[in-house]
């Protein structure tokens, strides 16, 4: 089932991003640093909680993203757009979803 690959990959990829954010955090004791540590622990817990509750009430978490495609489905292969040159070296993709 390929349906699990995207959230698993995004969760895996979020760890280095969180680690970098923690390094950039001004203080180990800051509220932001505490949140990032807590979130990282949930992502690496190996637990899944499907309940619709705040993350602070969950034992585990995964990362994901929400997107809406112009055609209204999840088949991103059906997305079509065309980038047009605006000025040298830059292009505009119109108002369509752009990957």
Give the tens place of pLDDT for each residue, 21-80. 877 766 667 888 888 889 999 999 999 888 899 988 999 998 877 665 555 566 666 666
Task: Decide which of 85 and 5 is more confident.
Answer: 5
- For 1, how many CA atoms within 13 A lie in the half-sphere containing its CB? 4
CA 63: distance to chain centroid? 6
| Residue owning tokens 């949140």 | 35
**Residue 34: what pLDDT?**
85
pTM (2 decimals)? 0.58
Higher pLDDT, 2 or 24: 24
17: pLDDT strictly greater than 80? yes
pLDDT value of position 26: 62
Query: How many helices, marked H, and strands, marked E, lie in the chain?
Result: 2, 2
The answer to whether 96 and 79 are in contact (CB under 8 A) is yes
- Residue 56 to residue 38: CA distance in whole angstroms: 9
CB 69 within 8 A of CB 97: yes
């Amino acid at each position: 089932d390929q349906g699990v690959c995207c959230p698993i990959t995004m969760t895996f990829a979020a760890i280095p991003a969180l680690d970098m954010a923690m390094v950039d955090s001004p203080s180990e004791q800051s509220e932001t640093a505490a949140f990032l540590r807590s979130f990282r622990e949930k992502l690496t817990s190996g637990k899944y909680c499907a309940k619709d509750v705040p993350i602070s009430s969950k034992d585990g978490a995964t990362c994901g993203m929400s997107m809406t495609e112009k055609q209204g489905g999840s088949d991103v292969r059906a997305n079509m757009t065309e980038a047009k040159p605006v000025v040298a070296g830059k292009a505009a993709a119109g108002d369509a979803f752009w990957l």
